[in-house]
């Protein structure tokens, strides 16, 4: 009899605490078009798989009358569960409890589940929806943030870390997502900034809305802080689930292998590419023509779209694709696209994912703004990331591979395992026009008709050098292949690279040009 009483008491306690900030606050959350923290977790994880910890944790604040306040779970839900059977650790800030503000115990709960994820070597997912530091808790809340950042850093490259921004994430709080591998944002719901509109108005007198300052679109398109953009929370959860299928649980494992599927693409690859190297095409069509099931899961679709990154599968095995996009800015490398590609390459390398590079680029973006923005050190990140990576690295040169771009895009010289080139490849120190202008400067200047002579010399240069055979003659390119052979060659290359073992000298860590 008495046991029953205790059980009923537990149930009552649970029910009360599980309501978070109470029905009124939940209504308010829904009115903002947002799901509650609990319903988010349940929507994301496999049915019945969520197990919660620290439900009964209470806050620690004693000053400013806080001792009289009850904050259920201290504004954050933590636990474990599965996504398509893969174990994950998860936390979700509960905006209905004191605005999801971060106090000492709130942070303790988060660091507890982070420690757990790291120890169990499983992915960590954090759902952020918080007004920021709990001011009443003073330096304790700052300590909490710091301890989260520290763990983000220690876990980086060991377990996948995913951040989901489903509400405000402001001030210091933004740095936890920034330290994680993938950041998901949802239109009209996500807001991220260091200093909000009110501070900007006080200091500058400039008026800007939260959405314009740090909304989902801003981070997906302009800042590059977000990797995935969704129209709704449910769409966002689908993206996260899909991502989980592509990545391993930790850095000692490989991603799950799926049954191989032939591409759905049925045309000829060579028909995707215009014969005039100055005409654009969408390089994603080439990836889809090569990848299993023509399925390409693009990352950072809207930021620096002059380079395309994302996951696909080759023979069922997760593969990272990095491809110049001639459709946007002619596919040049610039500060943003270098940054985007380099980080992705390092991600693939950390988590044992082979990298396929599709190259068609005219070089680096010229301009004062680029030079002054530091295109040298940003561009260097690409060189660093490719050289450093020890996963299988395969390059296919589709058309242009000029100058520094040729070296940067996983060339043989940076350690590519396999270099393929289509017969349309133009591997040269620079574009034919530029090269002819320099090499034949004297002939052009001294000619009776310099323009005609220039044209003649450009043609001569194109015929002699704008092809893959000069590089192939030196062994810089392993094989000149027909476009139709691309998938077959790539599958083979990945297959024979399965046991790749590339040992590097011991070091504490490198010093990449961050």
Partner 1 sequence: MEEKKLELVDFVVNTRKYKTLLTIKYANRKPYKVPNPNEIMSYIPGTVIKLKKKKGAKVKEGEVILILEAMKMMNKVLMPFNGKIKKIYVEEGQKVPKGHLMIEIE
Question: How far is the C-alpha of 152 from the C-alpha of 140, rounded, in Å?
Answer: 19
3-class DSSP state for residue 127?
Answer: strand
Give the one residue of 222, 234, 257, 376 binding partner 1; rule: CB under 8 A: 222
Q: Would you count residue 433 as binding partner 1 (CB under 8 A)?
A: yes
Q: Would you count residue 305 as binding partner 1 (CB under 8 A)?
A: yes
Least separation in angstroms between CB 280 and partner 1: 5
Give the one residue of 327, 447, 456, 472 binding partner 1; rule: CB under 8 A: 327
Contact between 324 and 410 under an 8 Å Cβ cutoff? The reply is no
Give the one residue of 79, 99, 197, 326 binding partner 1; rule: CB under 8 A: 326
3-class DSSP state for residue 155?
Answer: helix
Choose among 350, 354, 371: nearest CA to 512: 350
CB-wise, 156 or 188, nearer to partner 1?
188
Stretch that binds partner 1, among 331-339, 389-397, 442-450, 502-510 (CB under 8 A): 331-339
Q: Would you count residue 431 as binding partner 1 (CB under 8 A)?
A: yes
Between residue 57 and residue 96, which ones bind partner 1 under the rule CB under 8 A? none
Q: CA dihedral defined by 267, 273, 274, 278, rounded to 10 degrees?
A: 170
Least separation in angstroms between CB 75 and partner 1: 30
How many other CB atoms are there within 10 angstroms of residue 303's CB atom?
A: 22
Least separation in angstroms between CB 62 and partner 1: 29
DSSP type of residue 337? H
Q: How many residues sit in the footprint of partner 1 (CB under 8 A)?
A: 40
Q: Would you count residue 453 as binding partner 1 (CB under 8 A)?
A: no
Give the one residue of 31, 204, 473, 511 binding partner 1; rule: CB under 8 A: 204
Give the one residue of 142, 179, 330, 456 binding partner 1; rule: CB under 8 A: 330
CB-wise, 366 or 374, nearer to partner 1?
366
**Residues in contact with partner 1, shown as a per-residue x/- string from 336 to 375 under the rule CB under 8 A:** x-------------------------xx-xxxxx--x---
Instruction: Kindly state the tokens that stand for 404.
Output: 């520094």
Residue 86, beta-bridge partner list: 83
Contact between 302 and 288 under an 8 Å Cβ cutoff? The reply is no
Q: Would you count residue 215 as binding partner 1 (CB under 8 A)?
A: no
Stretch that binds partner 1, among 16-24, 73-81, 275-283, 351-359 (CB under 8 A): 275-283
3-class DSSP state for residue 87?
Answer: strand
CB-wise, 297 or 302, nearer to partner 1?
302
CB-wise, 206 or 449, nearer to partner 1?
206
Least separation in angstroms between CB 402 and partner 1: 7
Give the one residue of 390, 437, 479, 497 binding partner 1; rule: CB under 8 A: 437
Give the one residue of 263, 434, 512, 513 binding partner 1; rule: CB under 8 A: 434
- 280: buried, middle or exposed (CB in 10 Å: 19+, 13-18, 0-12)? middle
Show Cβ contacts of residue 76 under 8 Å, excluding neighbours closer than 6 positions. Answer: 37, 91, 92, 93, 94, 100, 102, 106, 109, 110
Furthest C-alpha separation in the chain: 111
DSSP type of residue 256? P
Choose among 290, 430, 257: nearest CA to 358: 290
Q: Would you count residue 302 as binding partner 1 (CB under 8 A)?
A: yes
How many CA atoms are closer than 13 Å to the CA of 36, on its beta-carbon side? Answer: 18
The C-alpha angle with vertex 322 and arms to 321 and 323, in degrees rounded to 5, equals 115
How many CA atoms are closer than 13 Å to the CA of 294, on its beta-carbon side? Answer: 12
Q: Would you count residue 441 as binding partner 1 (CB under 8 A)?
A: no
CB-wise, 123 or 305, nearer to partner 1?
305
Least separation in angstroms between CB 159 and partner 1: 31
Can you tell me which residue has the tokens 């690409």? 382
Binding site for partner 1 (CB under 8 A): 203-206, 217, 220-222, 229, 278-280, 302, 304-306, 326-332, 336, 362-363, 365-369, 372, 402-403, 430-434, 437
């Amino acid at each position: 009899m008495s046991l029953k009483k205790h059980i009923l008491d537990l149930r009552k306690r649970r029910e009360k605490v599980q309501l978070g900030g109470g029905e009124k606050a939940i209504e308010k959350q829904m009115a903002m078009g947002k799901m509650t923290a609990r319903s988010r977790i349940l929507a994301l994880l496999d049915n019945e798989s969520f197990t919660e910890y620290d439900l009964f944790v209470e806050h620690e604040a004693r000053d400013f009358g806080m001792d009289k306040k009850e904050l259920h779970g201290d504004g954050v839900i933590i636990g474990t569960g599965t996504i398509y059977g893969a174990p994950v650790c998860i936390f979700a800030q509960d905006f209905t409890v004191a605005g999801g503000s971060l106090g000492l115990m709130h942070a303790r709960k988060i660091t507890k589940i982070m420690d757990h994820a790291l120890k169990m070597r499983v992915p960590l997912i954090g759902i952020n929806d918080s007004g920021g530091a709990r001011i009443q808790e003073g330096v304790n809340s700052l300590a909490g943030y710091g301890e989260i950042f520290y763990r983000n850093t220690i876990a980086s490259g060991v377990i996948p870390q995913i951040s989901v921004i489903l509400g405000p994430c402001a001030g210091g709080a933004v740095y936890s997502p920034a330290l994680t591998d993938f950041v998901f944002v949802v239109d009209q719901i996500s807001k991220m900034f260091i200093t909000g509109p009110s501070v900007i108005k006080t200091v500058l007198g400039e008026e800007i809305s939260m959405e314009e300052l740090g909304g989902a679109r801003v981070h997906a398109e302009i800042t590059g802080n977000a990797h995935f953009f969704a129209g709704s929370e449910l769409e966002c959860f689908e993206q996260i689930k899909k991502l989980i299928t592509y990545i391993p649980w930790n850095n000692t494992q490989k991603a799950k292998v799926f049954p191989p599927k032939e591409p759905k693409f049925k045309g000829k690859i060579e028909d995707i590419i215009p014969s005039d190297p100055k005409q654009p095409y969408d390089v994603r069509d080439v990836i889809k023509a090569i990848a299993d099931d023509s399925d390409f899961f693009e990352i950072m679709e809207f930021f620096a779209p002059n380079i395309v990154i994302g996951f696909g599968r080759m023979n069922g095995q997760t593969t990272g694709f990095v491809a110049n996009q001639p459709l946007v800015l002619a596919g040049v490398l610039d500060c943003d696209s270098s940054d985007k590609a380099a980080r992705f390459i390092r991600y693939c390398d950390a988590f044992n994912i082979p990298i396929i590079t599709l190259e068609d680029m005219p070089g680096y973006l010229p301009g004062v703004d680029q030079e002054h923005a530091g295109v040298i050190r940003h561009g260097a990140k690409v060189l660093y990331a490719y050289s450093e990576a020890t996963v299988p690295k395969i390059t296919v040169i589709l058309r242009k591979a000029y100058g520094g771009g040729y070296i940067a895009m996983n060339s043989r010289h940076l350690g590519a395992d396999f270099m393929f080139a289509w017969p349309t490849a133009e591997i040269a120190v620079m574009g034919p026009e530029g090269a002819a202008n320099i090499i034949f400067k004297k002939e052009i200047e001294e000619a009776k008709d310099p323009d005609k002579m220039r044209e003649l010399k450009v043609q001569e240069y194109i015929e002699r050098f704008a092809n893959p055979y000069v590089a192939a003659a030196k062994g810089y390119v392993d094989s000149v292949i027909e476009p139709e052979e691309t998938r077959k060659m790539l599958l083979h290359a990945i297959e024979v690279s399965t046991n790749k073992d590339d040992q590097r000298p011991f070091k504490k860590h490198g010093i990449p040009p961050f």
